Homo-oligomer: A and B are copies of this chain.
């Protein structure tokens, strides 16, 4: 198994703003993809994320208010099945630290390298959304390579 791991620090006076950006449709649409359907505020809910190049459905697996958001892939590209996506949140001084994990890739394939870089760019978009009110969700996301 192989994992994608990231850490960003978001300047915010409370964890709640970050938690909202990870659990509401409008929040998710503000940093990941504008084409988001569904709410992420209840376990069992399915959120549909669609991109120019395809998409996936995430089932909300675990929620701890202002601490943890965990999704399990419900539908998506075969390489993403059955991976888990986790955001762990903690306040550290003036920052909210997000520890991000996309766990349990069967193999460290080239597509995983792409997704690792792309997750970093989207997490920087989450940081920008919370800090400035404006993120870079698909389709105005920052392109990293010929797979977008």
A residues with a Cβ closer than 8 A to B are: 2-9, 92-95, 97, 99-101, 108, 110, 112-114, 116-117, 120-121, 123-124, 127, 142, 144-147
Contacts and interface: CB of A to CB of B under 8 A. Distances in A.
A92 to B, nearest CB: 6
A144 B142 CA distance: 16
Nearest to A121: B120
A131 to B, nearest CB: 11
A113 B116 CA distance: 11
Contact of A93 (B5, B124, B146): B146
A67 to B, nearest CB: 16
Contacts of A108: 3, 5
B113 A99 contact: yes
Nearest first, the 5 A-B pairs at minimum CB distance are A9-B145, A120-B120, A7-B113, A7-B114, A5-B113
Given A99-B110, A121-B124, A124-B121, A116 B5 contact: yes
Q: Which of A112, A144, A145 has the most CB of B within 10 A?
A: A145
Contacts of A9: 144-147
A97 B7 contact: no
B8 A116 contact: no
A94 B146 CA distance: 9
Nearest to A123: B117
B113 A120 contact: no
B6 A146 contact: no
